Chain A
Amino acid sequence: DGGITQSPKYLFRKEGQNVTLSCEQNLNHDAMYWYRQDPGQGLRLIYYSQIVNDFQKGDIAEGYSVSREKKESFPLTVTSAQKNPTAFYLCASKFRLPANTGELFFGEGSRLTVL
């Protein structure tokens, strides 16, 4: 089955530690995205990548880093510089072609808690 797999689903981190959230898709999508979800804040864009080896900052990129070495993978690292990292993180992907309607497909999310 095609889809987007995020891991781990739940993650606990001590303050000062970096942590990496995995996102893998087998939909052959070009573009991949990371959103952060907080109560009452909706979904806010952290980073996105349209093609391999290229990515752009979103609205709240500070304290986060990404890489896009493979089309299928777009890992997100939450660094110790992120002041309030406890949140629910959603990865999404879609085709890049303009002919596409732009529908995003989402993973099931990762819940990060800083202790």
Chain B
Amino acid sequence: AQTVTQSQPEMSVQEAETVTLSCTYDTSESDYYLFWYKQPPSRQMILVIRQEAYKQQNATENRFSVNFQKAAKSFSLKISDSQLGDAAMYFCAYRGRGNTPLVFGKGTRLSVIA
């Protein structure tokens, strides 16, 4: 079974600085999708960014970017110019081929210090 590991239960960053959240996963598949979800205090899950494993180029969405290392099975999230509104739980998730459900990591709680 696939597993997703987020080794940092909590992180903090100064406003306007950059922070990187780590995620590793275990799979024997070659084709899959990876996601980062944000859960603010409202608890509404919001998709931040996604990466298709067959694409070598790292995904980018405004201030959010990923470092996808397929061989190392690593999928880290970089948040640039951190804002107070970025404070949230961040979950890394994996989905294999077909319609298999998403598998989530345990999350990283990010605090942003003004």
How far is A67 from B72 in the complex, measured between Cα atoms in Å?
40
CB-CB nearest in chain B for A44: B104
Instruction: Check if B99 sits within 8 Å of A50, measured CB to CB.
Output: yes
Interface bin, chain A: 20 to 34
Instruction: Check if A48 sits within 8 Å of B101, measured CB to CB.
Output: yes
**A45, A88, A98, A101: most-surrounded residue (chain B CB, <10 A):** A101
How far is A47 from B96 in the complex, measured between Cα atoms in Å?
17
Q: Which residues of A contact B103 (CB under 8 A)?
A: 45
Q: Which residues of A contact B104 (CB under 8 A)?
A: 35, 42-44
CB-CB nearest in chain B for A40: B106
Within 8 A of B (CB), among A40-98: 40-45, 48, 50, 58, 88, 90, 92, 96, 98
How far is A103 from B104 in the complex, measured between Cα atoms in Å?
13
Instruction: Check if B35 sits within 8 Å of A41, measured CB to CB.
Output: no
**B9, B102, B107: most-surrounded residue (chain A CB, <10 A):** B102
- Residue in B35, B43, B52, B99 whose CB lies within 8 Å of A31: B99
Min Cβ gap B101→A in Å is 5
Min Cβ gap B98→A in Å is 7
Interface bin, chain B: 20 to 34
The answer to whether the Cβ of A104 comes within 8 Å of any Cβ in the partner chain is yes
The answer to whether the Cβ of B113 comes within 8 Å of any Cβ in the partner chain is no
Instruction: Check if A104 sits within 8 Å of B99, measured CB to CB.
Output: no
Given known A101-B33, A101-B50, A109-B43, contact A42–B102 (CB-CB < 8 A): no
The answer to whether the Cβ of A102 comes within 8 Å of any Cβ in the partner chain is yes
How far is A84 from B6 in the complex, measured between Cα atoms in Å?
25
Within 8 A of A (CB), among B56-99: 91, 95, 98-99
- Interface residues, chain B, with chain A CB atoms under 8 Å away: 6, 9, 33, 35, 42-45, 47, 50, 52, 91, 95, 98-99, 101-107
- Interface residues, chain A, with chain B CB atoms under 8 Å away: 31, 33, 35, 40-45, 48, 50, 58, 88, 90, 92, 96, 98, 101-104, 106, 108-109
